Structure 1
């Protein structure tokens, strides 16, 4: 049984981490969040100590260490811009880190963390759960086996409606979230690079506060992508069904069915991490470079545009 601490216990994604810790028969000894709406902890670890101030949380971990209770892992579910600092804290405390994506916001942060990881002897893990999705694994195996000379033609469309709160929260601040492509797209970019290989070209056609679109060419695929949190971008048939989210990936005109199979992917991620097979810094590097470039590139008219951009 391993000892875990959790930073960001009041966040949206925290319950999946709490469940994963419990499902893998480990224990949570401490949790931190500046917000105290963490009643969900009662369903998993009601005996865990909880703090709203980082200083008291950090002191508590130190006191436990001196009393002989060692911390094995720190799970990080905080806003994107704080991941780097919280990963460093975990390693300083002699624990491995398990961090939500994006691991960090910029490529140079990855390089710095590599040095710190080496110095500390600890491991930095990230959650890239799409790599564990049965449909995505099947797709990667198919692509590897076919070894096509021609590139696959891929369209990625992801529209997930968000209300007015989004702009007020840290997610609406690009300096904290990395912007729309980072916030809702980074796991797709990781999946695409994992399946189709290295990026050869990155073109941005649209970059607004609530949507972005562009063209990515990988070693084995040409990808037109469109991401949005604006409800008005939803297809008419989705609106008619009163649904708020539309997600589609087509490969050579064929829809990739991956709406099911998301259950317990965080638990599967934890199982692999505990076996020493977690996804680390190098695994995250490509997608972090992609989203950084999307933020930085000048809007360009060239390249194959997604149908939603044309429309």
Structure 2
């Protein structure tokens, strides 16, 4: 039985708490930490956990094995470093950090303290994304030419304090939303040779509100991600995954409600084969957040190495920030572009080239 502390009692913290309390037998939520007392106590009462208002106090007093960091992005680095220093295994929600430098601090802390860590890149466990990766890896449709991902949503209202509207606190939709799909493509194809993005900067939406990012890989495969949270209120959480291959194309389109409250619904994946055949397949509808936690806890209990959604890829932190160093992008924009609008960004992946 693994004892888990949930740090952050907001939307995503509640989602994880529900899974850990009600859907996994070998876990128990023993501690809830949130600096907003009512919110933290409400979740603690619901889960039967002990409430803490202060993170350092929780680290000293709580009887926990795993700490789940579900706080705003700008708080991740300090909390992960402290949790690692306390010898706790760590689950940290995405985005891992606002900059590569911060991500590297987190990786170093985990290594030095020999703790197990995992990032909340849930697409790696989402059944339809897993199935499409299997199609690509097996070359079932021949060589892969292009991967397109889309993730669009109305500006989220789950951040009660409005931190996601602050440019330096959340990274905007470019980081918070886009990172899902960039990480997914990187998990299949490895590090890109180049990344080029064009985005709409809107200060009302916390900075980079909508982005289109193109990637190129050494084997000639290309990737494209359209993502953002600068859509009108009422626009449904929209996901698209399309893979163009030598002998066919795979496509999946899904609308998951305002946020993810309808993620249990399923829509078919369609395979258009080169011979004109059209096939529909509805992947397993198991909740990816549940699969993610089962994987992490199973690795911990069986002392198995965590190989999926780690804090790094091949010893490099850059892919876990989606190839995006927000601190650099912010400096580039503020020095040359004073107003809201659409701009091209130059983003450098590890070992890659700026275009």
What's the TM-score, normalizing by structure 2?
A: 0.70
Most deviating of 215-224 and 122-131: 215-224
Q: How far 1:160 sits from its partner (Å)? A: 0.3
Does residue 250 (structure 1) correspond to residue 264 (structure 2)? The answer is no
Does residue 202 (structure 1) correspond to residue 195 (structure 2)? The answer is yes
Matches of 1:273 and 1:163, distance apart in 2:
28
Match of 1:174 among 163, 167, 178: 167
- 288 and 161 in structure 1: CA distance in 2 versus 1, 3 angstrom threshold: same
| 2:298 corresponding residue in structure 1 | 275
Matches of 1:6 and 1:164, distance apart in 2:
21
- The answer for unaligned runs of 5 or more in structure 2 is 203-208, 256-265, 267-283, 300-305, 334-342, 347-355
User: What whole-Å deviation, never above 9, does each CA across 1:145-168 have from its counterpart, x for those lacking one?
Assistant: 229886523333322012688797
| 1:6 corresponding residue in structure 2 | 6
| 1:146 corresponding residue in structure 2 | 139
- 147 and 292 in structure 1: CA distance in 2 versus 1, 3 angstrom threshold: farther
Matches of 1:269 and 1:155, distance apart in 2:
23
3-state DSSP of counterpart to 1:290 = coil
| 1:217 corresponding residue in structure 2 | 216
Matches of 2:19 and 2:160, distance apart in 1:
30
3-state DSSP of counterpart to 2:97 = coil
Q: How far 1:186 sits from its partner (Å)? A: 0.9
3-state DSSP of counterpart to 2:11 = coil
- The answer to whether the Cα contact below 8 Å between 2:8 and 2:71 also exists between their aligned partners in 1 is yes
What root-mean-square deviation, in Å, do the aligned CA atoms of Structure 1 and Structure 2 show? 3.1
User: What whole-Å deviation, never above 9, does each CA across 1:199-257 have from its counterpart, x for those lacking one?
Assistant: 1111122241322223222346322332232335x9xxxxxxx6533322222264225
- The answer to whether the Cα contact below 8 Å between 1:202 and 1:293 also exists between their aligned partners in 2 is no
Q: How far 1:179 sits from its partner (Å)? A: 2.1
Matches of 2:135 and 2:182, distance apart in 1:
19
Q: How far 1:15 sits from its partner (Å)? A: 1.9
Matches of 1:128 and 1:166, distance apart in 2:
20
Bigger relative CO (Cα 8 Å, ≥ 6 apart):
1
3-state DSSP of counterpart to 1:193 = helix
What's the TM-score, normalizing by structure 1?
A: 0.78
Aligned residue pair count:
283
Q: How far 1:295 sits from its partner (Å)? A: 6.1
Query: Higher strand share goes to which structure?
Result: 2
User: What whole-Å deviation, never above 9, does each CA across 1:58-105 have from its counterpart, x for those lacking one?
Assistant: 4433xxxxxxxx421111100001111111121222211111111222
